[in-house]
Structure 1
Amino acid sequence: MNFKDAGLPPGEKVDFEQFDVFGIMGLPWQWDLSPDWSARVRLYGSAGVIRGARDLGFITTVTPGLAATNKSWNLTFDIAAGGALISDWEYGRQDVGGPFQFIGHLGVTYHLPWNLAVGYRFHHMSDAMIYGKSRGTDLHMIEFSYYFEGL
C-alpha cells in the first residue's frame, strides 16, 4: 500500500499484491499467563504468488513467532520474523534485491464459530541490503482461515 493519496512519498515504486496459502503449527512451548491469556511459540509457513507492475513471482516463507491468545475475546495477537524465497525480484521499476528476503509480520486474528477465523497482518519483506541498495515491500494482508484445534 502506497500512501500517495495522503501526500506521503511511497515506500515502494510499484503497488504489490500477494496471494498465498498458509499454515501455522503450534510448537511445544506454551504458557498459561492467566485464566484468559495464553502464549505459544508457533511456526508459520506460506506459499503463493506476489505480483507487482504486471510481473508475477512465486514466494514461500518460513517464520517462527510468538502468539498471545485471549480466549474470552476470541483474539490472537502474533509477531514473527524469518525468511522467504522469491522467484523474481524485479517488478517493473522496483528491484527488491535477490531471491532471499527477510520477513517480519504483526497480526491479529478473530476466532469465529466452527473453527473459522479472520485476521489482519502487516507484512514487511526486505533483503536488508545484502544484495546492495534495494527497496523492500510492506503489505497489508487480510486472512481467512480454518483451524484444526481449539484456541
Structure 2
Amino acid sequence: MQPRGYIKVLSLALLLAIIPAIGTTAKADTTSSATAEKTGLYSTGARFGTSFRGEDTDQADFFVARKLPWARNLSSGWNLGAAVELDLSILQHDDEEVVAGSVSTDLILSSPGHRFFLLTGVGAGVLEDEILGDINFGGPVFFLFHAGAGLRLTPWLSLGYRYSHMSNGGIYSRNPSLNLNMVELRFTF
C-alpha cells in the first residue's frame, strides 16, 4: 500500500466506527436517566498534530478509548476517572510515512456537568519501521506521555488539545524524542 493509502483506509475505518456511535447517542438522549448514565463509556476520534522543535514531523492518530470502572466524585463537583486508549498513528516526515500502534492509560478530571476536562496519561507502543526520513528512533518500541484539555461541544462531540511526547526511554543506543502539539476531535457514546 502506498503511504497516502494508509490515510484513506484509516479515515474510512474511523468514519465507519463513528456512524454507530452517533446513532447510539441519539437514542440514549431520549431515554431515561438510568440509560443515559450508561453512555459515555466509549469514545473514538482522530487527532492531528505537528512537532514544535524543528523535526518537521506530522502525526495523525485514530483512537478508541474506554472508561475504566474506577472513578471518584470530588466534593467540589469535579470527577476523577480513568480510561484506556488504543491508538493507530501515522507519522510523516520528508514525504515518508511510518505506522505505529500504542496503548495508554489516562487520568481524566472532568468539571461539574462534564463540559470541560483535563487529562494526562502514559503508555507504550511499537513502530512499523524505526527510521523515518532522517530520524532514527533507535528501535521499534517507544514510550509516550501526554497531557491535554478538552471542551464538550455536544453530548457526544468534544474538541481538545494534547501535548504528546514520544521516546524510547533510553532502551536503545539512540533516544531521540518527538514532541507534538495535537488537535483532537472525539465522539463519545
Determine if the TM-score, normalized by the shorter chain, exceeds 0.5.
yes
Matched pairs, number: 139
Matched residue of 1:21: which SS? strand
CA contact (8 A) 2:118 2:150 kept: yes
1:111 alignment counterpart: 152
* 2:83 counterpart of 1:42: yes
* 2:43 counterpart of 1:2: no
Q: Normalization by structure 2: what TM-score?
A: 0.69
Instruction: Note the C-alpha offset of 1:92.
Output: 2.0
**Greater percentage in strand:** 1
**What is the identity percentage for the equivalent residue pairs of Structure 1 and Structure 2?**
25
* 2:74 counterpart of 1:24: no
**Greater percentage in helix:** 2
1:74 alignment counterpart: 115
Larger Rg: 2
2:185 alignment counterpart: 144
Partners of 1:86 and 1:36 in 2: CA distance: 40
Alpha-carbon deviations, 1:53-98, whole Å to 9, x = none?
2221111110012110003571110110010111122122221111
Segments of 4+ moved more than 6 angstroms:
none
- In structure 2, stretches of 5+ residues that fail to align are 1-50
CA contact (8 A) 1:48 1:60 kept: yes
Instruction: Note the C-alpha offset of 1:34.
Output: 2.5
Partners of 1:54 and 1:72 in 2: CA distance: 43
- In structure 1, stretches of 5+ residues that fail to align are 4-9
Q: Over aligned residues, Cα RMSD in angstroms?
A: 1.5
Instruction: Note the C-alpha offset of 1:129.
Output: 1.7
* 2:138 counterpart of 1:97: yes
Partners of 1:45 and 1:34 in 2: CA distance: 31
Partners of 1:33 and 1:138 in 2: CA distance: 32
1:56 alignment counterpart: 97
Partners of 1:80 and 1:101 in 2: CA distance: 14
